[in-house]
Amino acid sequence: MLETVFTNHLLSWIVFTPVIGIIVLFFIPKEKTRVIQWTSVAFTFIALLFSAILLYQVSPNNPDIQLKEFAEWVHQFGIAYFMGVDGISVPLVVLTTLLSFLAAIASFSVKERIKEYYILYLLLVTGMLGVFVSLDLILFYFFWEVVLVPMYFLIGIWGGPRREYAAIKFFLYTLLGSVVMLLGILALFFKGGADTFNMLELGVRAKSFSLNFQIIVYLALFLGFAIKVPVFPFHTWLPDAHVEAPTAISVLLAGVLLKMGGYGILRVSYSIVPNGALWFALPLAVLGLINIVYGALVAMAQKDMKKLVAYSSVSHMGYVLLGIAALTYMGFNGAVLQMFNHGIITGALFLLVGVIYDRAHTRGIDDFGGLAKRMPIYAGIMSFSCLASLGLPGLSGFVGEFFSLIGAFKPSSVLNMDFAFKAIVIASATGIVITAGYFLWMLQRIFMGAENKKWNELRDISFREIFTVAPLMILMLAIGIWPRLLVDIMNPAIVKLVDYVSALAGGM
Amino acid sequence: MNIEINWQIIAPELALIAGAFLIFVLDLLLRKRVRYLHLPLALLTLAVSLWLVSTLGWSPQSTVSDSFFVDRTGIFFKFVIYLATFLILLLAEGYRPLAKYPLPELSGLILLAASAMSLMVSSKDLVLLYISIEFSSLVCYILAGYMRDDTYSAEAGLKYFLFGATASAIMLMGFALLFALSGGVTNLPAMGKALTENQVNPAATIIALGLVGVGLAYKVGAVPIHGWVPDTYQGAPTPITAFLSVSSKVAGIAVLLRIIIWLLPYDQTAMAPWTVILSFSAMASMIVGSTVGILQMNLKRLLAYSAIAHIGFVLIGIIAGMNYIPQSGNDFGKASVLIYAAGYLFMNLGAFAVVTMIGNATGGYEIKHYQGLAKRKPLLALLFTVFLLALAGIPPTVGFIAKFYVLAAAIRGNFIALAIVGILTSVVSLFLYVRVIKAMYLDKPGEEIAPAEKPIPAPSWAAVGLCLLGTLFWGIYPNPLIHFAKFCANNLNIPI
């Protein structure tokens, strides 16, 4: 009996476990910092366990939404507490819980106001998890907004020198996207003829929406998602937020928050306003190209390690956009793979940048040199992660990029834009070269070459730090060698979505 | 002449007036000893009035030759006004700047003001409407300038009075014109009918209604008659500011709704000029409120500009409600106005409650006095953050529900431009509120903070607690509120 109560509401358990953690934390006196830290880690670990159970519970080969939970919330508007997952959301939920757990451990380096930090941290985790499992547009919006406030405080209080500026920029920028998204959502409710915010029902009625209506709604929603992904030119909040945020928060920002945007495009835009999405496919691909190449070029120019990794995030998310725009099985698979892999890899990179920053209190690439001699293990791990990020075959970064590019090289026939996409893919390939360039150059400047005597006393990477990065490295290797680990989970749902959108394109 | 009076429906107002006079008389007789009696007495009177309102039936009833009437909407607004007054009385208790002024009279005057506003909501006749508006304004002038020895308060009272007297005179001119144009009718619904049936010159009606509109814009504090709001809100004693910002506004909104329903012709094309005028006012209010508010350093002025922005939002709801087409399905506009009024009560009073409590303890009302508040008074800082985020419209607070409902009404009625201005100004106004949050949490305390902070009286905590409850509960589970508001708003479609 207890089992059914539990398994029937697995998603709610996953989403609200951190809230239970918050309530527990309230009662712990703020002086007992160790207790607070380990309690928070425990709760994120419980959420991680639940998501492992989720992996086990979700039946493969089932393309539909599973593990649904439904309760009426605001009756007059048809707003419901409706949650469910499918192959696209499950990897992202697992990514969130894994990164939350590891970043909670990495947060041990936060030294002041620890209780408030972890309460806000757990609230952030709840918001992120809620976004990926919500199937009601208002519930989705609710969790989307819940992420904003803790993030503002986490960056603004515990961040770097320009934290206040970065925090308010992040808050206002993202809020602007969110409220425009809200208008799109409201338009769907009133003009959609469905009188509901239920994503599945709206998806079913997508055929009945006129093209113009879909385009307007798509653009409204896109602004909100584009700011999160982030899509050029709405990316300017990202470098500031990433650089100024504390290490663990950068991990979550890059690893999870950016994926909320990509997920939103897939789950909301492509499912509910597919004709609008199709209309925007070429511009989306072009924006992806700009992200890839522009992000890579700017990353090349960076002198701060964290900013370099931040711009590399902009660049990598471009592959996601490209894969989505292509509307092929391979493209979508590539996009979701890239989201997951980017989360893992960039999460690891931020953790590693944090390692050196904790010791040297600087992130300037040119400040270092010949570090491999002093910190050989760290050099090895950092190189491994950078190689994964630049897409070395055999590591997971390659898989996402490869699938996205190949998928986009032969885009869906309904788009009728073969030549344009081919040109875009060829142009994007230069991004790969530039990415390799800036990562290898960074590695060379930091780890090789003449030793900078200033850093003679640096300790190599500690056990706790290796512990936070190790699971990510294992995943990088495993998915790089055997991508089916993820693809088997994702593919049925992706096939269903692509087929659904392609079929609707016939009516365009 | 035999006038039938239905005592039951005017009982709430009579109870309030009786309570007020009882306090005045007791103050004269008992002098010092009534100091601690007046608050329980006032609260008791309010409780009695609240109970009397709840015994009224749901169908519209009127009395005193059809000049005073009560319907579901009226009941809703009365609940809001009485609840606001209750919380204000709790807040005013122990407020140190007011300590050297006669407090029993203050309670009595607040009760009188509440009764006047309640009369405003119930007026169906031009004369009663004007009298009740004047009555409430006069009491509010006195309340705003209550701290005679404080220059700011005196200025606030004077400015409020000058603005109010002028606006009121203009409104009276409008009323007189309406009286003449309708052929000597003072009953408002009948006047509306007369205006449409008598082939009145539309230009004359527009002018007359425009003059009345000036007076109403003054009462609710909307652009372009918003000039008095920042100075009055800043100068008046903070509990009184809170009272003005909620009760007086809500009463004004109620009157605005009534005049629109009764006096404006009930078809869209004829209403079009009014839609345009109100839209401009709404957009200007939101833009002025959110942008000029950013420059403010004084919390009370900041909240004053936020009030102007919020009234703009309410006007959107009124516009949507005005243009409601009977067969088009769910009517969101009028219900959204009621929901916003209720939500605004909780979040705005909560914000002012915190400002009062901190002003009480430290004597400071500037943002610099709030720096580092999170360390000194963590609970108050957290409460204030919740209220500020509610005012910004962030879920899961009632502020989000209210804004959501108004936006829904706007989109339903195809007022996309208004909705866009609404959301954009919401983002701008967030910056306004985040400045305060940032000061509390991110800044270090400045040197001006008085090291010895005085204790905060318990009733203030009760008031702020109730506001918090309202803000968060209705934000997470808004169903009962929405249901009740729709139930009450439905009334407004039935011409009486």
List, in order, residues 6 or more apart from A492 with CB less than 8 Å away.
A60, A61, A62, A63, A87
Report the alpha-carbon distance of residue A392 to residue A408 in Å, rounded.
Answer: 20
**pLDDT on residue B118:** 92
* Cα-only R_g, chain A: 22
**pLDDT on residue A5:** 61
| Residue A208 in domain | no
**pLDDT on residue B496:** 39
| Smallest CA–CA distance from A143 into chain B, residue | B395
End-to-end CA distance of chain B: 25
Beta bridge partners of A66: A85
Using CB atoms, pick whichever of A175, A186, A191 lies closest to residue B407. A186
Query: Higher model confidence: residue A132 or residue B443?
Result: A132
| Smallest CA–CA distance from A188 into chain B, residue | B411
- Assess contact for A331 and A404: CB atoms under 8 A: yes
Query: Higher model confidence: residue A208 or residue B313?
Result: B313
| DSSP assigned state of A304 | B
Using CB atoms, pick whichever of A142, A153, A167 lies closest to residue B396. A142
For residue range B470-496, what is the model confidence (pLDDT) as tens digits?
A: 899 988 888 888 888 888 887 776 543
Token readout for B104 is 């029993």
Q: What is the mean pLDDT of residues A172-197?
A: 85
For residue range A284-327, what is the model confidence (pLDDT) as tens digits?
A: 999 999 999 999 999 999 999 999 999 999 999 999 999 999 88
Sign of CA dihedral B180, B182, B183, B188: negative
Chain B residues with at least one Cβ partner in A under 8 Å:
330, 389, 394-396, 400, 404, 407-408, 411-412, 419-420, 423-424, 426-427, 430-431, 434, 438, 441-442, 477-479, 482-483, 486
| Residue A397 in domain | yes
Does A224 contact chain B (CB < 8 Å)? Answer: no
- Assess contact for B124 and B188: CB atoms under 8 A: yes
Report the alpha-carbon distance of residue A496 to residue A473 in Å, rounded.
Answer: 31
Give B265-293 as a DSSP string. -SSHHHHHHHHHHHHHHHHHHHHHHHHHH
Q: Give pTM, 2 decimals.
A: 0.88
Give A122-137 as a DSSP string. HHHHHHHHHHHHB-BH
Cis peptide bond upstream of A60, omega within 30: no
- Kindly list the residues from chain A whose CB atom is less than 8 angstroms away from the CB atom of residue B479: 73-76
Distance of CA A275 to the CA centre of its chain: 25
Q: What is the mean pLDDT of residues B210-236?
A: 90
Q: What is the mean pLDDT of residues A44-53?
A: 92
Token readout for A258 is 């950016």
List, in order, residues 6 or more apart from A57 with CB less than 8 Å away.
A7, A10, A66, A67
Report the alpha-carbon distance of residue B245 to residue B239 in Å, rounded.
Answer: 10
**pLDDT range class, residue A507, cuts 50, 70, 90:** very low
**pLDDT on residue B452:** 55
Does A216 contact chain B (CB < 8 Å)? Answer: no
Place of tokens 């998204």: A181
Residue type, B31: R
| Burial grade of A152 (CB within 10 A; 0-12, 13-18, 19 or more) | buried
- Using the beta-carbon criterion (under 8 Å), do B395 and A168 form an inter-chain contact? no
Place of tokens 């002038």: B141
Percent of chain B with pLDDT over 70: 94
- Nearest to A273, CA basis, from A220, A332, A337: A220
| Residue A22 in domain | no
- Kindly list the residues from chain B whose CB atom is less than 8 angstroms away from the CB atom of residue A167: 442
**pLDDT on residue A317:** 94
Calculate how close chain A gets to B13, using CA atoms only, in Å. 34
Q: What is the mean pLDDT of residues B308-337?
A: 81
For residue range B181-215, what is the model confidence (pLDDT) as tens digits?
A: 888 878 888 888 787 777 777 788 888 888 999 99
pLDDT higher than threshold 80 for residue B3: no
Cis peptide bond upstream of A233, omega within 30: yes
For residue range B292-302, what is the model confidence (pLDDT) as tens digits?
A: 998 889 999 99
| Burial grade of B472 (CB within 10 A; 0-12, 13-18, 19 or more) | middle
**pLDDT on residue A234:** 92
Token readout for A257 is 């928050």
Average pLDDT, chain A: 88
- Assess contact for B215 and B255: CB atoms under 8 A: no
pLDDT higher than threshold 70 for residue A87: yes
| DSSP assigned state of A266 | I
Beta bridge partners of A15: none
- Give, in order, the Cα–Cα distances in Å from B62 to each of A486, B10, B56, B186: 71, 9, 11, 15
For residue range B406-458, what is the model confidence (pLDDT) as tens digits?
A: 998 888 888 889 999 999 999 899 988 998 998 888 877 766 665 557 777 88
Token readout for B431 is 């910056």
- Assess contact for A391 and A346: CB atoms under 8 A: no
For chain A, how many structural domains are there in total? 1
Name the phi and psi angles at B477, rounded to 5: -130, 75
- Using the beta-carbon criterion (under 8 Å), do A175 and B427 form an inter-chain contact? yes
Report the alpha-carbon distance of residue A90 to residue B490 in Å, rounded.
Answer: 45
Percent of chain A with pLDDT over 90: 51
pLDDT higher than threshold 80 for residue A76: no
**pLDDT on residue B261:** 82
pLDDT higher than threshold 80 for residue B290: yes
Q: What is the mean pLDDT of residues A197-203?
A: 81
- Assess contact for B378 and B427: CB atoms under 8 A: no
Beta bridge partners of B298: B366
- Give, in order, the Cα–Cα distances in Å from B462 to each of A247, B457, B458: 41, 9, 7
Which of A50-54, A442-446, A502-506 comes out lowest in average pLDDT? A502-506
| Residue A89 in domain | no
Report the alpha-carbon distance of residue A144 to residue A263 in Å, rounded.
Answer: 12
**pLDDT range class, residue B325, cuts 50, 70, 90:** low
Calculate how close chain A gets to B56, using CA atoms only, in Å. 26
Describe the crossing of helices B398-412 and B416-442 by its angle, rounded to 10 degrees.
Answer: 160
Place of tokens 């008085």: B450
Query: Higher model confidence: residue B201 or residue A107?
Result: A107
Query: Higher model confidence: residue A319 or residue B8?
Result: A319
**pLDDT on residue B339:** 92
Q: What is the mean pLDDT of residues B112-137?
A: 92
For residue range A396-432, what is the model confidence (pLDDT) as tens digits?
A: 999 999 999 999 888 877 777 788 888 999 999 899 9
Calculate how close chain A gets to B441, using CA atoms only, in Å. 7
Residue B59, CB-side half-sphere exposure with 13 Å CA sphere: 0
**pLDDT on residue A3:** 59
Beta bridge partners of A83: A69, A134
Report the alpha-carbon distance of residue A291 to residue A310 in Å, rounded.
Answer: 12
Site from B332, B371, B404 to mutate, A interface, most A CB atoms within 10 angstroms: B404
Residue type, B356: T
Quote the domain boundaries for residue A328. 280-508
**pLDDT range class, residue A508, cuts 50, 70, 90:** very low
For residue range A225-264, what is the model confidence (pLDDT) as tens digits?
A: 999 989 989 999 999 999 999 999 999 999 999 999 999 9
| Burial grade of A349 (CB within 10 A; 0-12, 13-18, 19 or more) | buried
